[in-house]
Structure formats: structure tokens, C-alpha cells
């Protein structure tokens, strides 16, 4: 019965259906995340305006702190790799380093 319904819709490809499903899934997941964030911020949004602004500023600073921590960690890892493998630079293969034809 399901196959009969698919045959009745001419011109609809599997690729188009897959694309439509991906878009619907993205929309659904985005709305679920927004709902979760709204529920998480419900207590904050019930605060008076001034404490609410302080909380939001603290959250921004916390996020920036985490981002700079991760960035610093990545830079440290790159330095460790450079120290461990001094003959190669990142992004080049070892075979091309210093070789001339």
C-alpha cells in the first residue's frame, strides 16, 4: 500500500525526499534546542531587569573564558607538535620538506 502511494506521486525523487527530511529534521532540532534554552533561562527571565543584565554579562564572560582556554590549549598542542617534529611544518608532508628535483 505504501509503494502504491509512492507510485502515485510522479516526479518526486528519493533525493528530493531526503532533502526535505533533512530540512524538517534541522527545523525540529532547532526548535527543540530553542525550547530547552527558553526553559533553562526561565528563572533568569523572571528576575528584575538589572540582575538579569548582570547574569547575561557573566554568562558572556564565562563563554569567552572557555573559548580562550580552548584556543590556548590548541596553541599549546601545536607548539608541542612543532617541538616534537621540528623537520615538518603543519600542513606539509614530510616528503616535500627540503627536497628539490
User: Which is higher by pLDDT, 33 or 92?
Assistant: 33
SS3 94: coil
Average pLDDT over residues 50-65: 93
Domain parsing of the chain, residue ranges: 15-46, 48-86
- Determine contact, residues 52/44, Cβ cutoff 8 Å: yes
What does the chain come to in residues? 101
Distance between CA 76 and CA 70 in Å, rounded?
10
- Give the pLDDT confidence score for residue 86 in this predicted structure: 75
Distance between CA 15 and CA 20 in Å, rounded?
9
Average pLDDT over residues 80-96: 69
- Give the pLDDT confidence score for residue 6 in this predicted structure: 53
Mention every residue, 6+ apart, whose C-beta is less than 8 A from residue 89.
82, 97
pLDDT band at 101 (very low <50, low <70, confident <90, very high): very low
Whole-number average pLDDT of the chain: 83
Tell me the pLDDT tens digit for each residue of 12-54: 788 899 999 999 999 999 999 999 989 988 998 899 999 999 9
Amino acid at each position: 500500500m505504501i509503494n502504491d502511494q509512492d507510485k502515485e506521486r510522479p516526479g518526486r525523487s528519493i533525493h528530493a525526499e531526503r532533502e526535505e527530511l533533512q530540512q524538517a529534521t534541522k527545523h525540529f532540532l532547532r526548535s527543540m534546542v530553542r525550547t530547552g534554552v527558553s526553559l533553562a533561562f526561565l528563572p533568569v527571565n523572571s528576575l528584575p531587569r538589572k540582575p538579569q543584565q548582570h547574569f547575561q554579562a557573566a554568562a558572556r564572560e564565562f563563554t569567552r573564558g572557555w573559548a580562550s582556554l580552548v584556543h590556548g590549549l590548541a596553541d599549546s598542542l601545536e607548539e608541542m607538535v612543532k617541538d616534537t617534529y621540528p623537520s615538518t611544518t603543519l600542513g606539509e608532508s614530510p616528503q616535500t620538506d627540503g627536497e628539490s628535483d
